Amino acid sequence: MLEDADPTTTEKGWRRFGPDSVERGMLLALSETFGTELRPRSIDLGDGTWLEIEGADDSCSILIQIIGNQGKFTSQLRNKVMADMFKLTWLRTALFPESRIVLCVSETAAQVFTPAGWSTKAARDLGIEIWLFADGKLVTLI
C-alpha cells in the first residue's frame, strides 16, 4: 500500500520538506523534468513495516532518494549515498520491478561518483540514475 507521507496536509505529501528546503527544490525539479508529480511517500511493506521514500509518482514507476547535503564531504555522507542506492535497488527488486530508480544528489554528495570509482560503476550496473542538482538545475551524472 502506498500513502502520501502525510495525507492530512494541505500540500500533498510535503511534511518532510519545508517550502524553502533544497530537497523540495530537487524533487520539484525532478517532477518537472520527468513530467509527473513526485512526492515523499510511505510504503506499507505488508508485514507491519513501513518504508519512507523521498519521492515517487502515484504508481511507483519512479522511485527517488534525495541527498541535498551541503558543505564538507564526510564518510557519513558517503555511507548515506550507499545506503540510499541499496534502498532503491532493494525496493525495485522486492516490490516494483519495473520502476525507474533515481538518486538525486547535491554537489557535495556527487563527490562519491568519480569517473573511476566503484560506486559509479555500481550505479551504472544496477541501473540507478544519478542526477546532480546544482544552482537550481538538474544534470545527469549517470
Number of domains in the chain: 1
Domain that holds residue 18: 2-140
User: Which amino acid is residue 77, in one-letter code?
Assistant: L
Cβ 133 vs Cβ 68: under 8 Å: yes
Residue 30 makes CB contacts below 8 A (sequence gap 6+) with: 38, 55, 64, 102, 104, 131, 138
Q: Which cell is 23 given?
A: 530537497
What is the mean pLDDT of the segment spanning 56-70? 95
Segment 8-49, tens digit of pLDDT: 443 566 667 766 788 999 999 999 999 999 999 999 998 999
What is the mean pLDDT of the segment spanning 62-66? 98
Q: Strand, helix or coil at 71?
A: coil
What is the mean pLDDT of the segment spanning 117-135? 96
Cβ 138 vs Cβ 33: under 8 Å: yes
Here the CATH number for the domain that contains residue 72 is 3.40.1350.10
Q: Nearest to residue 83, comparing CAs of 33, 41, 125, 122?
A: 122
DSSP 8-state class, residue 112: G
Cβ 68 vs Cβ 21: under 8 Å: yes
Enter the pTM of the model: 0.88
Segment 76-117, tens digit of pLDDT: 999 999 999 999 999 999 999 999 999 999 999 999 999 999
